[in-house]
């Protein structure tokens, strides 16, 4: 066989493998394909088609066995348990549907080969810095997909903060070199899956198709290209996972597979947002049920994760995207709104296939005890053992903004950071928490510190050197702010230079203001230094209680040591180094990370007003 024919056959195999092709085009199967060599050989296929409830399902080819067929409440779904035998080879496996002895559909189901090292892939860690992106507001790399005829929301209007603006996956790909140059090693995109909603579909959290990238962002193939191009540059791609709810425009809402597929049917009943009820020893069952079963908002129907078929669907969907796209990590939206039993089943299933996969959950509580409950390794009084490796550190985020804004006193100012870090005792692994100054749901940090450039830089210094995995929201390097309101649409403003004709461009530097360029350069230098510093990326932390407007901490390993001194005072401060003698040798030399200047320790350490001094201890 010549090379042309080999290439042609390979192309045709890939084409069929992505679509679960059937003779009857009205038949749909999910997942569309799977892989040989997975640790769990069992798979549940969801077959959807008109009046197929009574169909018999057969798999005539050895290697893919039908174990059991489950009828749904709807006449238009079948849930088929299959097993991929150890003898299964890469290839196409026909799945046949019969009614009254007559073949009504034949699905060409593809089993593919896994990428080498897929199960042992590296995930994000404290060695990384994560760049959070709102894709619709980042960059429009392909204007041809701005409007899609099949989607309900067709308007592109950059002057409307809640309309779609046209950002897409190609725009992110085009700026990967910029992100690498800045020093970011991971990107977390807000959800990219289809959101076919009438309004406000731009944010991505109202999913209407779990196996399809929104066509206004690109395609499944384009997303896979993003992951591959990012990997070439040493950048991991983190997917934003929504386990708790779907969008009201999801096709399920017109034809529920089971009557209990959605909590409260198709009627909106709000959650009480009492997340504490998940672990509160005094919580009523009524409060817990309202928290877990209630809808987040009217446009986001709440999934009933107690339905075993739904639970398996969501679990398999996550694994499919990890394997298909080559994901480097997961972020889970609204984590404490899900059923505890399901959450554990989901994390355990992912970890079974990908033992190194890091997963960070959103738990927006300011008391460290609450998020710590959900971290893997935590021994809780009620016996609950979570499988979630990481949490978003909302307590620290709140502490930093309060610390920098409040006047100094015995229980205010920098003491807030000290207090939260001191509470790390409640976490199983505080070094694996994701730390941040702001995100897509809160005011920009530059706004939080009232656009004070000195405080802003102090915050950047803290987030890049404290324990944990730093996450920085796109545009932070350009002093993005939301001065007019706290509306999400304003917070998620367009990235500079992401659209043809933009007056300013972050990548080329065109027309950037002096302060924007200064921050961009400062952060790039800090992030690129961080990548190569063992103490900050892998070391332990020791801190000293704040006094007189000074907060000092060290990051250290056996080979490396970094000292950070935060001076909130409006005047230059001279610090007595003998206070730190247990970790700072008298004969030490100090290398200023930003200036590169090396000096002997001496009798005092000079710290400029309203600044953070970061030095390597040599």
**Domain for residue 288, yes or no?**
no
Same domain, 25 and 155: no
Q: How many CB atoms lie within 10 A of CB 115?
A: 11
Q: Collapsing DSSP states into helix, strand and coil, what is residue 411? A: coil
Question: How many Cα atoms sit within 13 Å of 109 on the Cβ side?
Answer: 36
- Beta carbons within 8 Å of 412's beta carbon, 6+ residues apart: 402, 406
Domain boundary among 496, 517, 535: 535
CATH classification at residue 183:
3.20.20.80
- Using the predicted structure, report yes or no on whether residue 1 has a pLDDT greater than 50: no
Confidence of residue 26 (pLDDT cuts 50, 70, 90): confident
Distance CA 481, CA 543 (A): 31
Same domain, 416 and 466: yes
Q: What is the arrangement of strands in the sheet containing 77-84, beginning at the earlier edge strand?
A: 28-30, 42-48, 77-84, 64-71
At 23 the pLDDT is 46
In 26-79, which residue ranges form alpha helices assigned H by DSSP?
A: none
Same domain, 59 and 87: yes
**Domain for residue 380, yes or no?**
yes
Q: Is 333 considered catalytic here?
A: yes
CATH classification at residue 108:
2.60.40.10
Q: Are strands 540-547 and 550-556 parallel, antiparallel or unpaired?
A: antiparallel
- Using the predicted structure, report yes or no on whether residue 6 has a pLDDT greater than 50: no
* Number of domains making up the chain: 3
* pLDDT tens for each residue of 505-529: 999 999 999 999 999 999 999 999 9
Domain boundary among 82, 112, 142: 112
Same domain, 398 and 544: no
**Domain for residue 51, yes or no?**
yes
Residue 39 φ then ψ, to 5°:
-70, -35
**Domain for residue 290, yes or no?**
no
- Using the predicted structure, report yes or no on whether residue 11 has a pLDDT greater than 90: no
* pLDDT tens for each residue of 91-132: 999 999 999 999 999 999 999 999 999 999 999 999 999 999
- Using the predicted structure, report yes or no on whether residue 443 has a pLDDT greater than 80: yes
- Mean pLDDT calculated for residue range 448-456: 98
Which residues span the domain enclosing 565?
Answer: 539-617
Which residue among 302, 323, 333, 363 is the active-site one?
A: 333
Same domain, 181 and 233: yes
Confidence of residue 24 (pLDDT cuts 50, 70, 90): low
DSSP string across 293-360: HSBSSTTSPBB-TTSHHHHHHHHHHHHHHHHHHT--EEEETTGGGS-HHHHHHHHHHHHHH-TT--EE
Q: Which range among 38-42, 61-65, 264-268, 512-516 shows the weakest confidence by mean pLDDT?
A: 264-268
- Using the predicted structure, report yes or no on whether residue 152 has a pLDDT greater than 60: yes
Q: Directed axis angle between helix 453-465 and helix 394-405, to 10°? A: 150
- Using the predicted structure, report yes or no on whether residue 36 has a pLDDT greater than 90: yes
Distance CA 617, CA 449 (A): 30
Distance CA 278, CA 337 (A): 9
- Whether 410 contacts 419, CB under 8 Å: no
Domain boundary among 535, 563, 592: 535
Same domain, 311 and 439: yes
* pLDDT tens for each residue of 336-381: 999 999 999 999 999 999 999 999 999 999 999 999 999 999 999 9
In 358-452, which residue ranges form alpha helices assigned H by DSSP?
A: 369-372, 394-405, 415-422, 445-448
CATH classification at residue 586:
2.60.40.1180
**Domain for residue 499, yes or no?**
yes
Same domain, 525 and 552: no
Closest CA to 534 of 123, 170, 125: 125
- Mean pLDDT calculated for residue range 245-268: 96
Closest CA to 302 of 284, 313, 290: 290
- Using the predicted structure, report yes or no on whether residue 10 has a pLDDT greater than 90: no
3-state secondary structure 174-195: HCHHHHHHHCCCEEEECCCEEC
- The partner residues of 590 in beta bridges, in order of sequence, read 599, 617
Closest CA to 607 of 566, 562, 563, 552: 566
Which residue among 214, 362, 402, 424 is the active-site one?
A: 362
Confidence of residue 7 (pLDDT cuts 50, 70, 90): very low
**Domain for residue 70, yes or no?**
yes
Q: Is 280 considered catalytic here?
A: no
Q: Name the one residue in this structure whose structure tokens are 């994701």.
A: 434
**Domain for residue 164, yes or no?**
yes
Q: How far is CA 356 from CA 131, 350, 359, 411, in A?
A: 20, 10, 10, 40
**Domain for residue 267, yes or no?**
no
Provide the residue count of the chain: 618
- Beta carbons within 8 Å of 50's beta carbon, 6+ residues apart: 26, 76
- Beta carbons within 8 Å of 588's beta carbon, 6+ residues apart: 601, 617, 618
Same domain, 384 and 445: yes
- Whether 121 contacts 27, CB under 8 Å: no
- Mean pLDDT calculated for residue range 285-310: 96
* pLDDT tens for each residue of 44-58: 999 999 999 999 999
- The partner residues of 406 in beta bridges, in order of sequence, read none
At 25 the pLDDT is 60
- Beta carbons within 8 Å of 152's beta carbon, 6+ residues apart: 196, 197, 198, 201, 249
Same domain, 392 and 496: yes
Report residue 408 as tokens: 């100094």
At 256 the pLDDT is 98
Distance CA 567, CA 414 (A): 10
Q: Name the one residue in this structure whose structure tokens are 């659209």.
A: 499
Same domain, 220 and 94: no
At 129 the pLDDT is 98
Distance CA 245, CA 293 (A): 10
Same domain, 518 and 374: yes
Same domain, 367 and 382: yes
DSSP letter, residue 388: B
* pLDDT tens for each residue of 550-584: 999 999 999 999 999 999 999 999 999 999 999 99
- Whether 29 contacts 22, CB under 8 Å: yes
């Amino acid at each position: 066989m010549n090379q042309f024919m080999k290439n042609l056959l390979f192309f045709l195999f890939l084409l069929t493998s992505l679509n679960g092709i059937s003779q009857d085009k009205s038949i749909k199967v999910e997942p569309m394909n799977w892989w040989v060599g997975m640790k769990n050989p069992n798979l549940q296929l969801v077959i959807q088609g008109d009046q197929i409830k009574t169909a018999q399902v057969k798999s005539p080819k050895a290697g893919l066995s039908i174990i059991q067929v489950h009828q749904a409440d709807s006449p238009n779904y079948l849930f088929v348990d299959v097993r991929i035998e150890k003898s299964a080879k890469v290839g196409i496996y026909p799945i046949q549907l019969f009614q009254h002895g007559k073949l009504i559909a034949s699905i060409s189901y593809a089993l593919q080969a896994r990428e080498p090292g897929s199960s042992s892939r590296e995930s994000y860690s404290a060695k990384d810095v994560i760049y959070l992106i709102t894709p619709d507001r980042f960059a429009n790399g392909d204007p041809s997909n701005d409007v899609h005829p099949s989607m309900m929301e067709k308007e592109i209007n950059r002057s409307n903060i809640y309309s779609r603006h046209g950002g897409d996956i190609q725009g992110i790909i085009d700026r990967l070199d910029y992100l690498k140059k800045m020093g970011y090693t991971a990107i977390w995109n807000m959800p990219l899956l289809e959101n076919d909603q009438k309004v406000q579909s731009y944010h991505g959290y109202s999913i209407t198709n779990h196996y399809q990238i929104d066509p206004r962002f690109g395609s499944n193939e384009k997303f896979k290209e993003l992951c591959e191009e990012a990997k070439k540059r040493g950048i991991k791609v983190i997917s934003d996972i929504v386990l708790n709810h779907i969008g009201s425009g999801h096709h399920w809402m017109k034809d529920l597979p089971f009557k209990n597929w959605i909590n409260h049917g198709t009627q909106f009943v709000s959650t009480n947002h009492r997340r504490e009820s998940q672990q509160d020893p005094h919580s009523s069952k009524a409060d817990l049920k309202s928290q877990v079963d209630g809808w987040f908002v009217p446009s986001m129907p709440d999934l009933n994760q107690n339905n075993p078929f739904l639970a398996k669907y969501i679990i398999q969907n996550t694994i499919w995207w990890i394997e298909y796209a080559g994901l480097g990590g997961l972020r889970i939206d609204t984590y404490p709104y899900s059923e505890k039993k399901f959450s554990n089943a989901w994390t355990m299933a992912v970890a079974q296939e990908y033992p190194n996969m890091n997963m960070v959950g959103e738990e927006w509580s300011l008391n460290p005890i609450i998020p710590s409950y959900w971290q893997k390794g935590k021994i809780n009084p009620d016996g609950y053992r979570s499988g979630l490796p990481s949490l978003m550190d909302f307590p620290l985020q709140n502490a930093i903004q309060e610390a920098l804004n409040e006047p100094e006193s015995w229980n205010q100012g920098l003491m807030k950071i000290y207090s939260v870090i001191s509470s790390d005792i409640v976490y199983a692994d505080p070094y694996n928490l994701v730390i941040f100054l702001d995100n897509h749901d809160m005011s920009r940090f530059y706004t939080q510190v009232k656009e004070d450039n000195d405080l802003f830089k102090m915050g950047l210094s803290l987030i890049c050197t404290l324990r944990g995995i730093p996450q920085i929201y796109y545009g932070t390097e350009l002093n993005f702010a939301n001065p007019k309101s706290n509306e999400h649409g304003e917070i998620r403003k367009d990235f500079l230079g992401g659209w043809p004709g933009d007056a300013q461009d972050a990548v080329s530097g065109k027309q950037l203001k002096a302060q924007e360029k200064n921050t961009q350069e400062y952060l790039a230098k800090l992030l690129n230094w961080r990548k190569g510093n063992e103490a900050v990326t892998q070391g332990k932390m020791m801190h000293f209680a704040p006094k007189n407007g000074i907060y000092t901490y060290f990051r250290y390993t056996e080979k490396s040591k970094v000292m950070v001194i935060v001076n909130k005072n409006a005047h230059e401060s001279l610090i007595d180094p003998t206070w730190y003698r247990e970790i700072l040798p008298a004969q030490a030399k100090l290398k200023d990370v930003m200036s590169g200047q090396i000096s002997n320790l001496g009798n005092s350490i000079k710290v400029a007003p309203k600044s953070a001094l970061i030095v390597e201890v040599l």
